[in-house]
Amino acid sequence: QFRAEVSTIGTIQHVNLIRLLGFCSERTRRLLVYEHMPRGSLDRHLFGASSQGGVLSWETRYQIALGIARGLEYLHDKCRDCIIHCDIKPENILLDEAFVPKVADFGLAKLMGRDFSRVLTTVRGTVGYLAPEWIGGAAVTTKADVFSYGMMLFEIVSGRRNVGQRGDGAVDFFPATAVGMLLDGDLRGAVDCRIAGEADVAEVERACKVACWCVQDAESLRPSMGMVVQVLEGLVDVDVPPIPKSLKVLADPAKYVEFFSGLPST
């Protein structure tokens, strides 16, 4: 089964997906060999003082966001078997020499039939990017990746982790702040302060709308990654989304248990 699944992943060819070069299977040890990405992972360039290329420009960030969306669309809709990544975050996005993003770490246990007859109910992924249905125990579909992408998109815009701490010790949850700015019609404070003057206002608004639609509580309200690509390309316009209840909850940890205990479970 391992060889069959490796063979499936090995046939996946897309400019925004890391390429599998080979594998090794010896008794219980299994290794996958991927192409080398000289710029490292996206988190180093967003959150760290990376020595490779300095601060990412707005144009580069927007193209990275669009490239990731295209890669996920391919995994979800254009492979023979639907592949749900289950752990979309900046650490799993690698950059080549030209800062072209490559989605990495789409593992072997996430190959799904097109009818979603296999359901994923075991929680995997990273806290802060997990869709509510993971915690609620419901079956997971491609919309879980959409949620994680939305959370990551907020970080691409702001250049910082979504959860931080203000000077007074209070928790600062950026997605909730960004949604407030979106509703007020003024997103100047949402962009990484290091590049705020160069950001394209229309693209910032588009990105924040997409991010907010992606993190809707009900997966039926979240767009497909194909729709995300079309919106980011400027081919489709979207309205200002409703404020997800989960954003309010995550901004106030005291309400966390109350919210997730009310989610449907399998």
Q: What are the CB-based long-range contacts (under 8 Å, 24+) for 111-117?
A: 111/5, 111/8, 111/81, 111/82, 111/83, 112/81, 112/82, 112/83, 112/84, 113/81, 113/82, 114/81, 114/82, 116/82, 116/141
Catalytic residue among 81, 87, 105, 186: 87
Model confidence at 264: pLDDT above 50:
no
CA 173 vs CA 37, 64, 66, 248, 262: distances in Å:
31, 23, 24, 9, 22
Q: What is the DSSP letter of 12?
A: -
User: Between 90 and 116, where is the model more confident?
Assistant: 90
Residue 124: both structure tokens together: 């995997």
* 110-129 pLDDT tens trace: 655 555 544 554 556 788 89
Residue keyed to tokens 């588009």 = 206
The residue among 69, 68, 75, 137 whose CA lies nearest residue 110 is 75
Instruction: Give the C-alpha separation, 199 to 186, whole Å.
Output: 13
How many Cβ atoms are within 10 Å of 11's Cβ, its own excluded?
10
Ranges 54-58, 195-199, 203-207, 246-250: which has the least confidence? 246-250
CATH architecture of 2-260: Orthogonal Bundle (1.10)
Q: Please state the rounded mean pLDDT for residues 217-234.
A: 97
Instruction: Determine the Cα–Cα distance for residues 23 and 31; give it in Å rounded to an integer.
Output: 5
Handedness of CA 8, 9, 14, 20 (dihedral sign): negative
- Reported as a single tens digit per residue, the pLDDT across 197-221 is 999 999 999 999 999 999 999 999 9
Q: How many CB atoms lie within 10 A of CB 82?
A: 19
* Whole-model pTM over 0.75: yes
Catalytic residue flag (residue 252)? no
